[in-house]
Structure 1
């Protein structure tokens, strides 16, 4: 009886992996993560979320689950994006803490014991930062611009190199699961919810196989989601720009009236040509209006998505049940 009680009292740690066409990486990922977590002395489960893969990823995951009872799988009905797959993994986690990491082997498994140790010391969020970014040139400048915009426009303090490689205590990720917000931006929410947090730095490893599933278009969409989720600054800038343009137009109109009156009084004051001035003014004001309407449309679009109440993901099959928040 005492041995059974001791076994039951061992905390369970869940590790969730979003997987999209990572068939060549899965077996090595399973071996490395298992080896790292076995050193902690804790019970653990590995949840592989197949995010609509078109290769043999799901078959390999099912084979791993047959040979290792600690492996669970969640198969989504289609690709719901990286954040959707992360939420699917978190919502199916049975542990007292969940670690999220990518399946491309760039997140070092050797860091897992240290993350678990910090959690056992009382930290409820253990996030990670890259010491260096595994890209160069234009792509690196794009990533830096993303973090700069997020920090300046959203009011959050996202440092350069933060990723979705993190540990969350159950009380933290249950807060996420209870949020009705659509298109959750997890990197921002992790800071926003608070709790006791600490960070670790790491050097990303080279991708073992395959290619990146995060092109520039996805980075732009990710940045827009983050800014709109946490900031009204674009709307306020649009309002401020409208006031500036209106003020300039007012001053310009007064100047034209004064110049006309001076000419009427007999003074020779050259008036600017009307056609070029008119065309430039119309194009400038039209551009400002379209930009403002586009910004407003992004916010209205998010409201529309929220009112539809569609789920963040749809499960086609799973070996583990979705756990309801406490």
Structure 2
């Protein structure tokens, strides 16, 4: 690695979906941190904050326009509808990579501790292309969330999915690594596994995750489970192999039962077994449905990929400093009064 001599222009990217309650607090905090880093000479004076409105239903976009008019270094990106957290991050990085040397993605609810941003930039200056912000503990989580998260990382690792444990989407990426990420064309986006696949020099910075400052979580249990399943099935075919092995095992058990039944019949000990019959039907029926469901998930992903639809659609950009082509997106402008 080569130590960087140039002070980077930093872009802070915040995906926002219905975040009007917390947006002002978040921007106030980030502007203070940005100003302090500029005074220290850690980042360029034109470093910016980019907020990606992921199809919010509240006043999030109106607030972004207000703040953009108050501070020249706040940029708003409006998506045409709600595409989801991961595509919103991609949209922000796609726009920010035209202007910034390094980009940091973090949530708008301030649970990601912005105080470590300077440490992440220091790692970047040491030559690292990617810097992961990793939680030092999960004491702020409920017992259920903490244990299910740990189980997810163990299962994902066993299935061959390369993840950074206790890391979400709070990370720094250089322009080089972002451009490489944009070359990955898949529509089933799971950045926590896609970024490590790039293979660039990386480092970790630990932090203590806080509580949401306002508003409600955008990841309830159902959405978290869906996100976990999507992530695993996007990067591993082991679930299908597991179902094949399970099928072989069941066929073996069935063979033993057939032999046992024939011997019992020849010895005259055969009896009607309603209970065992029902258990077998329900067991095999459930396994068949589960197997079909897993295979269906993979077929659904193939269906999504072959259509090659844009992963996100940018409707409007306010305060953008440098025009340029947008990777993997169709962009059209509307009046800023929206």
**What's the TM-score, normalizing by structure 1?**
0.90
Q: Which runs of 5+ in 2 are unaligned?
A: 1-5, 328-338
CA distance in 2 between counterparts of 1:96 and 1:323 reads: 17
Question: What are the equivalent positions in structure 2 for 1:143-292 lying under 5 Å apart?
Answer: 143-159=149-165, 161-263=166-268, 270-292=269-291
Instruction: Quote the residue 1:29 is aligned against.
Output: 26
- Number of matched residues? 310
Question: What are the equivalent positions in structure 2 for 1:46-65 lying under 5 Å apart?
Answer: 46-65=49-68
Q: Give how far 1:142 is off.
A: 2.4
Q: Give how far 1:184 is off.
A: 1.3
Deviates more, 1:26-35 or 1:186-195: 26-35
Q: Give how far 1:281 is off.
A: 2.1
Correspondence 1:120 to 2:117: no
Which structure is higher in helix share? 1
Correspondence 1:83 to 2:83: no
CA distance in 2 between counterparts of 1:287 and 1:124 reads: 47
Q: Give how far 1:271 is off.
A: 1.4
Deviates more, 1:140-149 or 1:302-311: 140-149
**What's the TM-score, normalizing by structure 2?**
0.87
- Deviations 1:179-227 (CA, angstroms, capped at 9, x unpaired): 1111210001121221101101101223221121110011101101110
Q: Which runs of 5+ in 1 are unaligned?
A: 1-8, 264-269
Correspondence 1:306 to 2:314: no
Q: Does structure 2 retain, via aligned residues, the 8 Å contact 1:13–1:95? A: yes
Q: Give how far 1:324 is off.
A: 4.3
CA distance in 2 between counterparts of 1:109 and 1:140 reads: 22
Q: Give how far 1:125 is off.
A: 0.6
Question: Which of the pair has more CA radius of gyration?
Answer: 1
Instruction: Quote the residue 1:297 is aligned against.
Output: 296
Q: Give how far 1:82 is off.
A: 0.9
Q: CA RMSD in A?
A: 1.7
